[in-house]
C-alpha cells in the first residue's frame, strides 16, 4: 500500500467482501493499491498453482475478474452510490506462464467509461462500463490480458 492510495475504509470493506466469498477467499487475494481508477491485487502462487508449477488459468481470470469488479465497486462507493455490480462478459488472452505470485491490475477501458459509470448510474439507476485488466510479471512482462463488461444496478432507496 503506497502513500498515494486512497482512504483505507472502502478497501477494508472490499477485502472483507472478497474474504466472505469462499471461492474468492481460496485465491487469497491482497489489495496492493487503489488510485486514479486503477486497482492492483496480488495472490500467492501456492494457493493458485496448477499441475505445471505455474498459475492456474482459472485463478488468473478470477483475479482479473474480481480486480475489475472491485474497482467498479470502489468507484461507486466513493461516489456514495449503492449498487449491485455484475460481470456480463469477458475475453481473456493467456500470453505467458506465471511462476511467481500473481499480480493483476484493473482499470477502465477509457477515461470516458470511468466518468460515465457514476453519472449514468446516478441518472438512470443502471450503468455499464468496460474494464481491462492485465496480469503483470516482475520482469515487466504481461502474462495475461482481460477485457470485461460490468453492469451496475442501483439498489432501491440508495442515494
Secondary structure (3-state) at 101: coil
Least separation, in Å, of the C-beta of 89 and a second copy?
Answer: 5
Least separation, in Å, of the C-beta of 93 and a second copy?
Answer: 5
Minimum CB distance to a second copy smaller for 34 or for 69: 69
Least separation, in Å, of the C-beta of 2 and a second copy?
Answer: 27
| Binding flag, residue 156, a second copy (CB under 8 A) | no
What percent of the chain is helix, strand and coil (3-state, nearest 5)? Answer: 35, 35, 30
| Binding flag, residue 90, a second copy (CB under 8 A) | yes
Least separation, in Å, of the C-beta of 49 and a second copy?
Answer: 6
Sole window of 2-10, 86-94, 113-121, 131-139 interacting with a second copy (rule: CB under 8 A) = 86-94
Helices (H), 41-110: 57-78
What is the gyration radius of the CA atoms in the chain, in angstroms?
15
Sole window of 5-13, 62-70, 105-113, 129-137 interacting with a second copy (rule: CB under 8 A) = 62-70
152 touches 97 (CB < 8 A): no
Least separation, in Å, of the C-beta of 91 and a second copy?
Answer: 5
Q: How far apart are CA 1 and CA 62, in angstroms?
A: 22
| Binding flag, residue 94, a second copy (CB under 8 A) | yes
Of 65, 62, 83, which is closest to residue 73 (Cα–Cα)? 83
Non-local CB neighbours of 77 within 8 Å, separated by 6+ positions: 10, 13
Q: How far apart are CA 143 and CA 93, in angstroms?
A: 9
| Binding flag, residue 13, a second copy (CB under 8 A) | no
* Residues of the shown chain interacting with a second copy in the complex, contacts defined by CB under 8 A: 17, 20-24, 26-27, 46-52, 56-59, 61-63, 65-66, 84, 86-94
Amino acid at each position: 500500500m503506497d502513500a498515494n492510495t486512497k482512504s483505507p475504509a472502502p478497501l477494508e470493506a472490499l477485502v472483507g467482501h472478497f474474504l466472505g466469498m469462499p471461492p474468492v477467499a481460496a485465491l487469497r487475494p491482497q489489495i496492493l493499491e487503489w488510485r486514479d481508477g486503477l486497482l492492483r491485487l496480488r495472490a500467492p502462487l501456492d494457493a493458485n498453482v496448477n499441475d505445471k508449477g505455474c498459475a492456474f488459468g482459472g485463478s488468473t481470470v478470477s483475479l482479473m475478474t474480481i480486480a475489475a469488479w472491485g474497482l467498479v465497486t470502489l468507484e461507486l462507493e466513493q461516489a456514495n452510490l449503492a449498487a449491485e455490480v455484475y460481470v456480463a462478459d469477458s475475453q481473456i488472452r493467456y500470453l505467458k506462464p506465471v511462476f511467481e505470485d500473481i499480480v493483476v491490475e484493473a482499470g477502465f477501458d477509457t477515461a470516458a467509461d470511468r466518468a460515465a459509470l457514476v453519472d449514468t448510474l446516478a441518472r438512470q439507476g443502471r450503468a455499464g462500463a468496460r474494464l481491462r485488466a492485465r496480469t503483470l510479471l516482475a520482469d515487466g512482462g504481461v502474462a495475461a490480458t482481460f477485457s470485461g463488461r460490468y453492469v451496475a444496478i442501483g439498489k432501491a432507496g440508495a442515494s
